[in-house]
Structure 1
Amino acid sequence: MKGDAKLGSLYWGILLMVSFFLLSIILLQNNLFNEEYKVENISFYKKEKGEFQSVDFTSNTDGKSYSLGFVSDTVWAKIDLTNFEQNQVNSILEVGNPTFRIVELYKSGDGESINQIKRISIDHLGKSNPFTYPYPIFKVKINRGDAYYLKIFSTEPVNFSVGIDSEDAFYHKYTKIISLVSVYIGVMIALLLYNLFLYFSVKDKVYFFYCLYILFISAAQLSLLGYSYFLIFFQNSIWYENSIIIFSSLSGIFGVLFLRNFLQTKKHLSGINKGLTLIVIVYSFGAIFRVLGFVSLSYSFTDVGGLLVVVFFMSTGIIMARRGYRPAFYFLAAWGFFLFGLLLFVFQNQGVINFGSFSNLPMLVGTAFEAILLSLALADRINILKKEKEDEQNEKLRVLHDNRELIKQQNTMLEDKVKIRTDELEQALRNLQNTQSQLVNQEKMASLGQLTAGIAHEINNPINFVSSNIMPLKRDIKDIMEVIAFYRITGAKEFSPDSQKEAKQLEEDLELDYVLDEVNQLLKGMDDGARRTVEIVKGLRLFSRVDEQDMKKVDIHDGINSTIILLNSTMSTKIRIIRDFEELPLVECLAGKINQVFMNIINNAIHALADHIDCISDPKIEVRTRSLGEFITIEIIDNGWGMPEHVKQRIFEPFFTTKAVGKGTGLGLSIVYSIIESHKGTLEVITKESQGTTFKITLPIHQSTQRYE
């Protein structure tokens, strides 16, 4: 019952609007144009080789309006005013077409031939009048016996009529036309804004397509009337002429898109939906050909598109209405207004109804009422969508209630399973934590073993250096003792010249000066070895810091240098170490942990170079430090073969390694990452295949916590 009441209200509303539409047409027809005199006899000429030749266009006229189609040359029209009763009265002569490029008015006196005519006024797309009136008008004083000629040139179809009004009647008509056009523009703008507001409210694209349809159908009507020449294109004739077809094509395209979404043709009428796509293609070709300069072809495509629109739109509306789809009734009513306006336009062209110079009035009123009805339909669509949404929400609530009951039943089963699974996961987690601790300790022991081997090797060198110098030192000391013994024996006696000579000879034979110098050199070597041993031990102490668990301010450079010293034994002599150190402040950190970071990264760089040592011309590792305000950066750069992208993405994963079995646990860089993260720093890897690898460490100078857990 409720649905029947709504449909009854719809029918009454449509009936009232139709009555208002007819009443408006009758009033406008009786009051707006009844004073205009229509010129019924016009003959046409073309000028060839300086002479006027008569042209027969009688098949293209109904006696009051003339349709010559596309004419490439200038056309001359002789106006027959034999039946014009007024004499020597100031009149307005109006040419009923706003698209003519050139319209000139000529006059010949009584008995003068066409070759003796004189131009009395010129018009160029409305520029001859100050009223922004789109039709060419000429102010003339008509005398009996005078002949008037129009010189017409147009790139558009030459379709026109000629009317004559008194000045007062013309101004009266002009005022009413401007009022009607203003009302039309106001109504269409209001509908556009209203539906645009609905679009932003409901986010339904059908409202967006309808807004575009209103925009372009209004613009198309204003172009057909000629007002867009002044209001939109600022008297640019090229843009205006193109707009007639382009606006009409765009209104047709968006009208099709609106229909497809409004009546849901893709869902209900798949065959007609494909035909609607054909309309879009035809209109698109019409607009494209107009832009490319094929004017006649563009009009043909637009006419075909209009014919297809009538057939498909009415067929779609009738089919959907017969299926009981309520929006289709609105659509049929709105489209009926448009077709009714089109019918009156045809009657006007056939001379059945006379709208004077305002021949587009039926189309103007028809599109306005069509837009109003479709806006009402879209407003009603909100109610339909609201009801559908309420039904959908009720259905969702029912399903939700059923699901809730099902969930309650399943929760009991899941809680038991979760409890069992939780116990299993807790046990697995404990086992994993124990395994992880063992692996971490294993990694630490591996690093410690490597460290111990390096220390043993480095300490062995200075020890061998000292032990290898012991025998020469004993031999030299023995020689010195022989000289001393000789001097002691000889000293017990008085030295004679011979003995002194003999002693001198002995010193020369033993090269006592050289021996003493060699003793000094050996002692110096022993001193160097001892100092080197001290340096290694100091580096070990700086690297390990095993007795320090608190954050302290340390010199990062000391940690890097000690790490490089400890790794000397594992490094090929071909690898160069480059230190690019900038002055750094003391950094608050756990020195042992940070040294472990340097050890792992530099050691990986050494292995990366060692694996391809023969393929790299100058293998090197560069360690670069920089100070950046509250942060420092350490970059460790090697010129090895780098890493592919899939390896780079996984290097910090625990247990991931590219080394052979038994040569790596895959925990080194994972531990490095956790150490840097615990220091509130960042670790970035920059690498490409065959372009080396850069590890960039960023550390804050100050830590917010004083204890590292």
Structure 2
Amino acid sequence: MLSNKYGNPNPTFKLTDSKDWLPYVILKISSFEPVRFNAVISSEASYYSNFNKRTIFINIYVGIMLALFFYNLFLYFSGLDVLYLSYSMYVLFIALAQLSISGHSYYYFLYQNPKLFELSIIGFTSLAGLLGLYFVKVFLHTKERLPLVNKLLGLLMMSYLVTFILRLFGAVSLSYMLTDINGLLVVILVFYTAIVLARRGIRSAYFFLGAWTFFLIGILVYIMQTQGLLDLGFYPNLAMLVGTAFEALLLSFALADKINLLKKEKEKEQAERLIALAKNEHLVREQNVMLEDKVKIRTDELEQAIRNLQNTQSQLVNQEKMASLGQLTAGIAHEINNPINFVSSNIMPLKRDIKDIMEVIEFYRSRGAMEFTPDSQKEAKQLEEDLELDYVLDEVEHLLKGMDDGARRTVEIVKGLRLFSRVDEQDMKSVDLHDGINSTLILLNSTMPTKIRVNLDYDELPLVECLAGKINQVFMNIINNAIHALADHINTIVDPHILIRTKSLVDAVTIEIIDNGPGMPECVKQRIFEPFFTTKAVGKGTGLGLSIVYSIIENHKGKLEVNSEESQGTTFKITLPIYQSTERYE
């Protein structure tokens, strides 16, 4: 009878009661395939009980394997990792191979086609072996970790392919023999690989070793059952199904563990990237600070270069201006000096001559009073009254005195011009700074309003090595600025005055020029030494005066300080060393 009558994948026959039956049953089987079977005679009730148990068990097995297949196939489409595709296909074909060995594939999905069923046992087994070996190579990275084992696994894959081809071409016995040999070699090689890698501490190898342990146990139990050494009762293929199911589950756990490892590695990589980004951000900030410092340094250098250029320009302008002014001043002083010397030198002889004439006049007046006739005396008296002799004599005396004062004043001015200009001096000389201040005040006297008082508080100063003409120019510019500051507010300042104070230190001297003018706001004070900066009206200042003053003091290795507040006046303090370190002023 055909087996499909009872829905059992294995041949099933119903024995009817007959008094003519012998006490034994003869079963004759003819097959082109290697066959190993057990024949069981049981009651109908026992048959259906075992059949129901087998059906439930196989459904559970198929459910587990399909769940693993679709789960890993979903993971493959999620991440496109070929490892999940190879494993899902391995699970599918190992399950089909077990279903063919147990006979269920013939009944359920091979449409009870004997040819397909005969090919399915070797075909499904070979494909499962190919996919399983490929999964082992990829999952355990044998190419990098065990190159020799990787080559042997490749040879086994070729052997499974050859086995399947031989079965297609009818070499049944040889294909079954190669399948058994391949299975034995796979077990040995895979176990060896898993043990070696597990001893190296590779986590995935432990899962793999456990999975193949269950698979090996299933094979051993199946062999013992087929050899009659063990009876599992209702399902002869129970051990292989359980072994492959546990193998598939443990390998799924291994893949899940790999996902966790990859997740941890990704988190670690992200953490390392965050640390690297933080370091890069820190480096960027440091680079920005360095760049800002460099930009600041370059900006300072550029500003210093601009200041040097402006100072050089102002010095060139000043040198040209002072050279021309000095030559003009020296020329004027020289030209004035000759006639004024002539005038001043002739005043004293003129005074003596006038005195002699006055003595003669006085003699004539006294003798005339005694000897002249009354008429002559009357005429003389009338002549004196007409000529206003007494007034003329007084006027001559005043004229002589005025000429003397004017000549003396002119001599002082000429001397001041010569002291101020000093155009012939290009070497450092020891000079009296008080002479320079006094000569400067003489030259500025005509421009100073009469309301402005100048107070001098001189200390006893030593001679100071300097270029007298340059230092006089410093005095000229600062005092002139003080005069202008006071003159612009002459009607609002009570008692406008300028105090010039000198003091001697150990190796230096200080000159303070103090005025009680309107003072300067902080914004102006910060810029007063910049070339071309001026607070005067257009056409009344070039903005070079204090810039030139600063450069002169700096070149003399001195120090120029300014202290000023609005409505509190201004103080310029000059500090000059008594001795210069160089003899020549460059």
TM-score norm. by structure 1 comes to 0.39
Structure number with the higher strand fraction is: 1
- Report which of the two structures shows the higher radius of gyration computed on alpha carbons: 2
Structure number with the higher helix fraction is: 2
